[in-house]
Chain A
């Protein structure tokens, strides 16, 4: 079956621009997670959704970052006024539930480069 799909796979933008990153989770998965992976680092938690609501957004670095999941399926991570420090790979994962023993399925990520 289809896995987690992230589009685009690569995004290059200029400093100060707005970007949207899309995540299509596995069908039926109620929990959806966004992580950010900077060069040479492990993934860092940003936000997770249970259904349509953001259950925990404590990892969002500042108010330039925002994410939505309006119908409980596809999610969009939005970054305003991008900065060079936002350059990273943004990973999306989904799981059947948000229980700790529910396995995370990761997408291949979107590589964002801010010039």
Chain B
């Protein structure tokens, strides 16, 4: 069965600093990978997704993620964090056998200090 691990429950970064949120997945075949962001009182918003092709994918709000098959990882990065990026971030894995059913990680809460 698929699973997703986000090792960091909380991360605090200074505004303007770079960010990397870690995600490791477990799945036997080529996964579909996603990053979602959830702000307080808001629904989940898709940041970016990987299906195939270039392993470095660009998303909205200046985020990017790199798929590394050898490490079973899909880490999210941003070169310069803004205070408005404070939110909870979820990594998710899907599989074609299961339609668009996703398995989510437990999330990482990002705090941005000024």
Chain A interface residues (CB < 8 Å from chain B): 3-4, 31, 33, 35, 40-45, 48, 50, 55-56, 59, 91, 93, 95, 98-109
- Which one of B12-20, B66-74, B101-109 is at the interface? B101-109
B77-92 interface (Cβ within 8 A of A): 90, 92
Indicate the member of B43, B98, B107 with the most A CB atoms within 10 Å.
B43
B106 touches A99 (CB 8 A): no
B46 touches A42 (CB 8 A): no
Looking at chain A's contact residues, the main secondary structure is loop
B43 touches A3 (CB 8 A): yes
* Candidates B4, B44, B96; contact of A100 at CB < 8 Å: B96
* Candidates B32, B44, B94; contact of A106 at CB < 8 Å: B44
Whether A107 contacts B43 in the complex (CB less than 8 A), given A41-B106, A101-B51, comes out as: yes
State how many residues of chain B have any CB contact under 8 Å with chain A: 26
Whether A108 contacts B43 in the complex (CB less than 8 A), given A41-B106, A100-B51, A100-B96, comes out as: yes
Q: At the interface, yes or no: B42 with Cβ under 8 Å from chain A?
A: yes
A3 to B105, CA, bound (A): 24
* Candidates A3, A101, A104, A107; contact of B102 at CB < 8 Å: A104
A55 to B45, CA, bound (A): 24
**Which chain A residue has the least Cβ–Cβ distance from B31?**
A100
* Candidates A99, A108, A109; contact of B100 at CB < 8 Å: A99
A100 touches B43 (CB 8 A): no
